Amino acid sequence: MSFLEKSSRLKKQLTLLNVYAIVVGATLGDGLFLLPGIATQQAGPAVVLCYLIAVLPLIPAMFSVVELSTAMPRAGGVYYFIDRSTHPLLGTIGGLGTWCALILKISLALIGMGVYINLFFPDMPFTLLAACLALLFGCINLFSAGKSGSLQVIMVFGLLTFIGWFIGVGSFHIEANHFTGFFNKGTEAFLSTAGLIYISYIGITKIASVSEEIKDPERNLPLGIFLAMITVVIVYVLGTLVIVGVVPPQKLFGSLTPVADAAHILAGSWGVKITAMAALLAFLSIANAGIMSASRYPLAMSRDHLLPRYFTSFNKSGIPDRGIYITIAMVLVVIFLFDPLKIAKLASAFQLLMFSLICLAVIVMRESRIESYDPGYRSPLYPWMQIFGIFAPFVLIFEIGMISLLFTFGLVLLSSVWYFFYAHDKVERVGAMYHIFERMGQRRFGGLDRELRGILVEKGLRGSDPFDEVITRAQVIMLSKKTTFEQAVLRASDLLSQHLPYTAAQLTKRFLEDTKLGITPVTHGLALPHLRLPNVKRPEMVLLQCRPGIIIDKNMQIPDTGYSSGPIHAVFFLVSPLENPGQHLRILASIAGHADDDRFIPDWLSATNENKLKKLFLKDKHFLTIHIKEDSQSASFISQAIGDLELPENCLIAFILRINKTIIPRGNTVLEEKDLITFIGEPHAIEQVYNQYGGRKQKKIEDSA
């Protein structure tokens, strides 16, 4: 399997709270504190509905990003998904374009912050202040994602506290006459404004660019995004309702400080001061989250040879420092060259195009039918939601204006030129689109499947995967003499046939055929022959240890890994149900992940019994081993069938060691004195068994096992 070297992986430091704070912080800010005055000037009081219309094209993109992120948690987010699903050319366009859109949003946030500070210091050049703050947040992001994520949590919850006060107090001061002539500006102005304020929402999906750094991304990423989405929509709709309802139209139109204007009416000068502090938090959180996200795009594209290798550098904190440097440099250029309205339009137009491509990416990945595409969350209403998400953004793009269209076209052209003149000869991969072509009789790129399998290794098992049960049920073969691979397959097939609706000859034939086709992974001194067959109820496995080694032909070596096949000391025969390819691949990936440890093969070879072999895979779980003795609390186990024992929920007997022979526990297995029983389970269940029957924790009895 192909996966990133440990030294090249970003550290997983971000929790659910960090995800929520990054998404909310990257979204709330300019859409509430800066744009409502400009937007109201264009659409009138209908601006409240503009915020609802603007979110519609985001919904398919949001669900699509969540699905892709849980399948492929990689730095670069949108770029990575588009590149792997379609073609590196579109990946280059998506990567450079999304990076530029993020830079524009960061710049807009810093300018907005300067505008609010100017409420108190009118003579201070806010562009210079914005530039200084860009440098400050660049420095913060150089330390670690965890530290900048913690800062994000503090800023976001401070911001939400203010917004709660603002909406709560402001709802009692809304003037109904401010909404007179709701649609007087017309449909064209309404849609144009919706396109303008679309930038308010693009932070929702930016968390995908740091998905590689999220702990348990299959849970924390979807949950964090959905909670943040609900928060943001409520804040924008209610917040703009209060702003339009409180501030007189003649004062609101074109204002760059709409919340401060409303706060002045609600609470006087001290309300303006509190608003300025809240706006500062909002814009700082956008800048912090934006820099964190944007800096990962050069890293991801550099890994894929679309940008120079210069950007793959990490500092001592494991942060892609050079990506941060160039992001900050670009932000400084934008701050000094563009005004807020142009920035908002440019960023919104290109991001709408990217979200259209993201929805296309989901369709391509699903229709490619790559088994290793294994998202932890699947978008609902497929494919209709994605089809809507492909076409809906173009309605808003054409309404934003000609300059934004030209900017978008220019970025596409510039990215294409860069790809053909710099990256084309350096890139050999193609996207999942070619797996669809294969189904129509054309070609595909096998490297993508290997890459996705490598991602499965890094993601790990899901809570519902029966990995522990498969290992504990596994039958074991321990060989002390050299043997051929064919002989090993014959022995393993004979054991597996006892639990599967297939004969040993049928299983042997399938294992050997797949081996000749190069399907069996062979790396790090181990082999993973595996099958998925119909009519199989649950995964079954045979573990084989051969100290002298089994020599396997070179045609079994995984292409492009660089590993020599050499002698094989560990072989894992896995047979799984045909209907669950994702679970099958995750079990394989977990085994490969264990084998990636430099100590695995030495520990495997030093294991002297079946019990110790299995513990190599279960060493990170919760264990308890009890030695049945007549003069101990465990004496009540003697002569008892396992099925008759009253054990706590979430606890089971994994295996029994009886006179140096491992017994696979079944319901009718009768326990005997001197048996060594190993339990696995949840900590509270293990503690209950320990208190009731006595025993020692696993780490204390390793030698006795």
Mean pLDDT of all residues in 409-433? 77
What's the CA gap between 527 and 519, in Å, rounded? 11
Question: Mapping DSSP to helix (H, G, I), strand (E, B) and coil, where does residue 538 land?
Answer: coil
pTM greater than 0.75 (yes/no):
no
- For position 38, what pLDDT does the model report? 86
Most confidently predicted of 312-321, 329-338, 435-444, 559-568: 329-338
Tell me, what's the pLDDT at 383? Answer: 92
For residue 147, count other CB atoms closer than 10 A to its CB: 15
Under the banding of pLDDT at 50, 70 and 90, the label for residue 470 is confident
**pLDDT at 439 > cutoff 70:** no
Per-residue tokens: 412: 């596409």
For residue 73, give the 3-state DSSP assignment.
Answer: coil
> Are the C-beta atoms of 627 and 704 separated by less than 8 Å?
yes
The b/e string for 217-236 (b: 16+ C-beta within 10 A; e otherwise) is bbbbbbbbbbebbebbbebb
Residue 75: pLDDT band (50, 70, 90) is low
- Domains located in the chain, CATH noted: 6-425 (1.20.1740.10), 460-607 (3.40.930.10), 621-700 (3.30.70.1450)
List beta partners, residue 523.
526
Is residue 12 within 8 Å of residue 214, measured between CB atoms? yes
When pLDDT is averaged across residues 383-400 and rounded to a whole number, the result is 86
Residues 528/586, Cβ–Cβ less than 8 Å:
no
Cβ–Cβ < 8 Å for 37, 258: yes
Complete DSSP assignment for 134-161 = HHHHHHHHTT-HHHHHHHHHHHHHHHHH
Mean per-residue pLDDT, 453-458? 65
In whole angstroms, give the CA distance from residue 521 to residue 1: 7
Query: What are 231-289's pLDDT values in tens digits?
Result: 999 999 999 999 999 999 889 888 888 999 999 999 888 888 888 888 887 787 777 76
Which residues on adjacent β-strands are paired with residue 214? 14
Euclidean distance between CA atoms 527 and 543, whole angstroms:
10
- 584: closest CA among 415, 431, 439, 371? 371
Q: How many CB atoms lie within 10 A of CB 399?
A: 19
**Tokens at residue 81, please?**
């998904």
Residue 166, amino acid = F
CA distance 248 to 289: 34
Assess whether pLDDT exceeds 60 at residue 703.
no
Query: Encoding tokens for residue 357?
Result: 């491509």
Residue-level pLDDT at 324: 82
Computed over every residue of the chain, the mean pLDDT equals 79
pLDDT of 205-246, one tens digit each?
Answer: 667 666 677 777 788 888 988 998 899 999 999 999 999 999
pLDDT at position 219: 83
Tokens of 131: 């530039």
The answer to which of 368-377, 511-520, 557-566 has the lowest mean pLDDT is 557-566
Element (H, E) at 543: strand 540-551
